[in-house]
Amino acid sequence: MLKLKGSIKISGDKSISHRALIFASLSTGKVKISNLLESDDVMRTLNILKELGIKIVKKKTQWTVYGNGTGGYLQPSQVLDCGNSGTTSRLMMGAVSSNPINCTFIGDNSLSKRSMSRLSIFLEKMGAEIKLTKKDFLPLHINGDINLIPMEHVMQKASAQVKSAIILAALNLRGKTRIIEKRNTRDHTERLMRYLKINFKKKILSKNSTSIELNGPYEIKPRDIIVASDPSSAAFFIVGALIIPKSMITLKNIALNKSRIAFIDVLKKMGGKIKVKKTKTISGEDVGNIQVSYSLLNAIEVKASSSPYLIDEYPILSIAASQAKGVTIMKGLSELRHKESDRIKSITTNLSKIGFKVISKKDDIFIKGSNELQVIDQKKIKTYGDHRIAMSFTILSLLYKNKLIIDDDSCISISYPDFKKHLKKLSSKK
């Protein structure tokens, strides 16, 4: 059996990388971006910005974006291909909507099955003309308009992507835009705006509700951006070190945004030995080192109120649950059905195939785990083309001495192209 030992620097954060590129494109000059994640998803955003007239060049490991200012996108000569990236499609829909251009967005088969109406209804209320396939899916055509109406938006469903898209549209509008979140979401966009000195007001309305007010149009002055390392990517190795005997690892320069590391609190409650130490702040994000060592885990209940802060980590948390003593309950996972795969199905199907007792009831998952390793014959894991399912079960396969075969792990490049390289670096023989 392998164990995980040593230290690595995780690749740049995917969510921040998308936003860094887009905000740089809206600035009034040259922006250098360091530690950009060069995954398939992020490159989709980068290439679409190029199609919109933004000059972007790479020198060694650094990317330089020559911004055209808010409202500076040019008419593209071809369709804008988002590939598998929901973040690309939604953020760029918002960004182009307040420009006087016409765009058609397309995606791969998986993305074309994911809802776009949750965003389009807000943009249409502002005055954008949007045509969706079968009222909900890509391909999508949008007629942008610099004269969109600034207004108040009440978001009943938690979505950082939708919130960010509305913000991006509002940056080029004359007047006040107000966004009310009934359930708080990840705040990378707001942190980056503060770093870029974009004036806005954020108010706490209640324990779980906030409002954001913007008064545009804005002139965004160029400022270089360093992308912090991705905590969602770090989560795979954190769980790996917790469940694989004799493991001990250190992960460096990880973004410690509270809205992104809720999974660490969950793992600590399960008995995980995890130490987090802040070291500095870069481009508006706190970063630090995370030390993890092998632990005997116990089952817990994860409440539905936590789901907006754990949405990307549920696949790997389900792996931790499979190795925890007792029945772990994860509630309020409806959003998992609208990711790269139906992740409730992907998780339950694969764990059941291995032999774990797993039940899904509506939007809840119940996993009966064990600290003792199951005896299994060789099993094939179906990833459903979902990068987080592929990486999660790759980590679990380390416990089973190659008895778990991943059917197709090419999808990992969507979010973490260096995953296998980093896993190899941390792996050593017993």
Cα 267 to its chain centre, rounded Å, is 19
Q: Could you tell me which of 323, 376, 369, 371 has the C-alpha nearest to residue 354?
A: 376
DSSP category for residue 338: G
Tell me the β-bridge partners of 254. 229, 288
Secondary structure element (H or E) that encloses residue 120, with its range: helix 117-126
Return d(Cα 110, Cα 233) in angstroms, integer. Answer: 21
Active site residue 312: yes
Give residues with Cβ within 8 angstroms of 367, minimum separation 6: 299, 318, 321, 322, 327, 328, 330, 351, 356, 357, 358
Handedness of CA 220, 101, 158, 25 (dihedral sign): negative
Pairing of strands 30-34, 225-226: parallel
Return d(Cα 121, Cα 371) in angstroms, integer. Answer: 47
* Active-site entry in 13, 40, 230, 312: 312
DSSP string, 231-275: HHHHHHHHHHHHHSTT-EEEEEEEE--TTT-HHHHHHHHTT-EEE
Which residues are designated catalytic? 312
